[in-house]
Structure 1
């Protein structure tokens, strides 16, 4: 086969082989579970798999058109489902909520009404492709009612294949897992991380060891972490990457963090400082103090007070 949709997927050879063989042998499972850490290529693999699956039935001259339609998300036989927030009678994905600058305390979830839309989508035969395909990102966010509704669909999927994307089999309802063929995904080694960041135009990240440490073998997490880094003013970051010069300096920094950064960014900053300080000083007591700061922020403690206590502690060390 000359068409190679998986050529951009790095470091997931087992997944590529399992999915390629399924298509070549025409043994497509009704449902798959793409299980592995965030940011290692699960969503990309799902897109590549659909491209490969559909291209087997497309004329050669139509493959480029097929690729474009799938990547633009407008193929009539593919339904891509993401967790959503409920806001003023609308469902918004995390990206849409970010565009509207909405701050939500609870994470987005896959809702029962979204599962009903899947059922409706699968109730009609495919229009162009050999089968309908449904991809559920972050399938672990389904509440029990939504998972049970999806179970009925998995029992009789009809002319369709469903792909559930989740961190692990344990994160999804066991009755759903039992009806899926598992495709494992793994964290990438350093050469593979370098390859992905280079081919996606993110070479600059390779100069930030703390960001790479936070990512822990996940290129997607590295890119997300680097974007978070850009959201913090360079001056504030520079001041935080050294111990406060005085107690007054510590209090001023705490005030600025509280003023400039939302809670989500502050939680990310804890991760970054843990990695950065450990590489600089190797002092477990500072790392433990930052871990306590994370717990306090997650418990909705007053952020300025949390950072005052944390930075005063670091100033003493």
Structure 2
């Protein structure tokens, strides 16, 4: 008996914030709103023009370069409608947290103060829903489509279940979106048509950020360097920067020049910032101090501090060792 689709298996919202790249005011069905991804656009437009839609696709690249936007445009053109919200022939799946026996989409907790103890994952229960969904005929669209966001976060059991689904003929297509495709089962990746996405060059980065109303980000060279060609990551890093205590950032414009300042700063960082924000600050300072000092020693010290922090060393001690190393 097929598994019933119930409210306990959450469905992700169509408008994902993972990529932070939107349609720039155009109709979402236009590939012209996707900047700097000519190869992906050519492949997807060709599939629609020839009506040769693959059973499975793999949209792979770093976060924030337009993979989710491309999926929405592709589906909108395939379905011949811009109204994808609650479409009966579209299922959008994303990793979930297990909270008091209920599955909660990762996007629902993205801006919550709740800090889950384990990372989100795509679970076998969700893949069972995918399998059932694809076993039925499309209602209004030419075929059904399932999008699996962050597909590399699949649990082992979920991956094996998805592989079985991919091996069997269905009445629709599956789009896997991944920023770490190397983590997918090779047997899953080999059954998908790869749609490559790339980091944007400088001019395209500026173009996208300006159209999204984030032109001010281009003035922060450290944030732009951190983003490494990803407009979505540039926005995420800039937003993270805004959450940092301004007085602390001002004190870290340059490395401290005396031991007393170093010890005081280490204490402030340990007290004011949680683990994730400390990791982010180390990345930010790598770019910031390199641009100001052009000193590879500081880059290496900051990287060593990050490694130590990830090994669960005392965060205050990590910062003291780093900042006293002037």
Which shows bigger deviation, 269-278 or 300-309? 300-309
Work out which of the residue numbers 194, 198, 209 in structure 1 matches 2:210.
Answer: 198
**1:135 alignment counterpart:** 147
**1:126 alignment counterpart:** 138
CA contact (8 A) 1:122 1:157 kept: no
Task: Count residues with an aligned counterpart.
Answer: 300
**2:124 alignment counterpart:** 112
**1:61 alignment counterpart:** none
CA contact (8 A) 2:209 2:217 kept: yes
Work out which of the residue numbers 25, 30, 51 in structure 1 matches 2:50.
Answer: 25
| Alignment deviations for residues 190-237 of structure 1 (CA, whole Å, 9 cap, x no partner) | 011011101111111000000011111111111111111011011111
**2:306 alignment counterpart:** 294
Work out which of the residue numbers 211, 219, 223 in structure 1 matches 2:235.
Answer: 223
1:49 equivalent to 2:61? Answer no
**1:258 alignment counterpart:** 270
CA apart distance, 1:95: 2.8
Work out which of the residue numbers 155, 169, 172 in structure 1 matches 2:167.
Answer: 155
SS in 1 for 2:236: helix
**1:62 alignment counterpart:** none
Gaps of at least 5 residues in structure 2 are: 1-26
**2:295 alignment counterpart:** 283
1:15 equivalent to 2:27? Answer no
Which shows bigger deviation, 130-139 or 170-179? 170-179
SS in 2 for 1:182: strand
Question: In 2, Cα distance between the equivalents of 1:105 and 1:239?
Answer: 32
CA contact (8 A) 2:143 2:172 kept: yes
TM-score by length of 2: 0.88
CA apart distance, 1:171: 2.7
**2:222 alignment counterpart:** 210
| Alignment deviations for residues 240-275 of structure 1 (CA, whole Å, 9 cap, x no partner) | 112224322212211111122111111111110000
> Which protein is richer in helix relative to its size?
1
CA apart distance, 1:157: 4.4
CA contact (8 A) 2:58 2:189 kept: yes
- RMSD of the TM alignment (CA)? 1.7
SS in 1 for 2:110: helix
**1:58 alignment counterpart:** none
